[in-house]
Structure 1
Amino acid sequence: MQALALAIIAFLLYIAAASWQGLTLARRVAPQPMLVRGLALLGLLCHLPLVIGLFGHDAQVLPGLYASMVLISAMAVALLLGISLFKPVLGAATGILPLAGIALLLAATVPAAPHSDDLPPGVALHAISSLLGFAVLAIAAVQAVLLGLQNRALRHHQIRGIVQALPPLTSMERLLFELIWAGMGLLTLAIISGFAFLDNMFAQHLAHKTILSLAAWVIFATLLFSHHRLGWRGMRAVRWTLGGSAVLLVAYFGSRFVLEVLLGRG
């Protein structure tokens, strides 16, 4: 019950922060980055007890669906708040924070899994880099959506609203590729550490995640190479970012959703 209460409070704080930022993008209210960060930080403080609880209950190579949602959403919010102190990425709060709140509410209604052994250091490196990589690329996906909306508005000569609220298009695009580079570094580390420290990355319970993670890596690597050598940008960059993020989403959550939610298996 305490976990659910904290999840509800965190959800409300996340929604409040995301709503203000959304109204800011729509030019309905004045920008208040400190307010948005403050509300999101309070939400994260309510989020953290559920994260801490996972380390005593659900430490395994592939966390359960809901445990993964709690961890990744917390990492995404923390990274967003940290990056926003140095980069104009707070607009992504409109997508990241509501998703984090929803994930937390869903996870808080599920009983904790039985205790399992601690992860070996190499496997822990794989798990943490995987979760961090997904969190960074999730922020990149929301950044890509904002970039796409800004690009479309400019092509239709709509210079008010979101175009005025966001940084210049070149800055938005540069930030998108910086996020992708960071996410790719973490994803590469996750893949290498997985092959180095897991017994068989193509075992039955890992094969789908391995194959789809490699596919996502190829998509993002192609985008980065083509951006550098062929000048890919704009809506093409947006589509490839969202495509790679979608593949990674299925890699991390696809089979778990089928097994744990649709089929009711642990």
Structure 2
Amino acid sequence: MILASASPASVVLTLAAAVAYAVPAAGARRLSEPASRIALLIAWMLHAAVLAWTLWGEPPRFGFAPALSITAWLVLTAYAVEKQVFPQLEARWALAGLGSAAVLLALAFPGNPLHVSASPWLPLHLALGVASYGLFAAAVVHAWLMTRAEKQIRQAADPRAGLPLLTLERLTFRFATAGFALLTATLLAGFFFSDSLYGIAVVKWDHKTVFSVLAWIVFAFLLLGRLRFGWRGRKAVRVLYTGSLLLLLAYAGSRFVLEVVLRRPA
């Protein structure tokens, strides 16, 4: 772990965000709806402050754990927006626990200092990649909710509890489609502008590139199967999980090996 590299301000912000997330996560059944919503909003704002300090602090840092932390924050942002449209959407306790774990992980593994890049397009390239992470993570969360709703239907649970199954299914594929579009843009930028982005004339076929392309193929297979053959239910969820796992291994997995296992800059 690299806790020694964290500044006192980042430690305080991170611990405050983790505690704020823990309140709605641990007290999901005891807190009222307004109190739980306020606690999650405070945690979300503190999390945003942690990310701003990490990416624009002195020195700015990035790595697998900050990437996962940004992903968790994006998922929570999507949930906050959806909650206004679908009040019956219930995943607050799980997402709050995810947020708490993400900020603590980023405190333990803050990544490597970012160096001044020769290309002004590199931050945009990274932003597209992380945004695709966030959208696919949101798709995975909705797929999990869809699976839970399907199980509740089999158990003859109250049909008015939570979002309807078909609504969850539509939301899952909307997030997956948006994530696929951003992942496509990220890969195209890497392939066609690798010289200006990374200073190499040809694409570097490392673990990150290979896993990213494999994930793209799986997601394309999923969306084609949905469009052409009407895939839904468990089959679609399994394919989505497979692609998301490959995408997770592409950046976060390879950076984890470099930063934690091999202990050298990526």
Same structural fold, with TM-score higher than 0.5 when normalized by the shorter chain: yes
| 8 Å contact from structure 1 (residues 144, 238) kept in 2 | yes
Residues 220-263 of structure 1: CA distance to partner in whole angstroms, max 9, x if unpaired?
Answer: 11111111211110111111111111111111211211121122
Specify every segment of 5 or more residues in structure 1 that has no aligned partner in the other structure, as ranges: none
Q: 1:237 to 1:196 in 2, by over 3 A?
A: same
**AA of the residue aligned to 1:158:** A
Structure 2 length-normalised TM: 0.82
Q: Secondary structure at the match of 1:137?
A: helix
Distance 1:113 1:144, change over 3 A: same
Query: 1:145 aligns to what?
Result: 144
Amino acid at match of 2:44: L
Counterparts in 2 of 1:246 and 1:115: CA distance versus 1, 3 Å: closer
Q: Which residue of the partner structure matches residue 194 of structure 1?
A: 190
Count of matched residue pairs: 251
Taking a change above 3 Å as real, the CA distance of residues 254 and 111 of structure 1, as seen in their structure-2 partners, is closer
Q: Find the counterpart in structure 2 of residue 78 from structure 1.
A: 77
Give 1:185 shift: 1.4
Which runs of no fewer than 5 residues in structure 2 stay unpaired?
1-7
State which of 6, 15, 20 in structure 1 corresponds to 2:22: 15
Of 162, 168, 171, which aligns to 2:164?
168
Looking at structure 2, the residues matched to 182 and 248 of structure 1 have their Cα atoms a distance apart, in angstroms, of 15
Query: Aligned to 1:6, which of 13, 17, 33?
Result: 13
Determine what percentage of the aligned residue pairs are the same residue. Answer: 31
Residue 128 of structure 1, CA deviation: 0.6
1:86, CA displacement in angstroms?
A: 3.3
Distance 2:51 2:157 in 1: 42
Q: Contact between 1:216 and 1:247, CA under 8 Å: does it hold in 2?
A: yes
1:181 is matched with 177
Q: Is 1:38 the equivalent of 2:34?
A: no
Q: Distance in 2 between matches of 1:66 and 1:89?
A: 31
Contact persistence 1:96–1:139 (CA under 8 A): no
- Contact 1:123–1:197 (Cα < 8 Å) also in 2: no
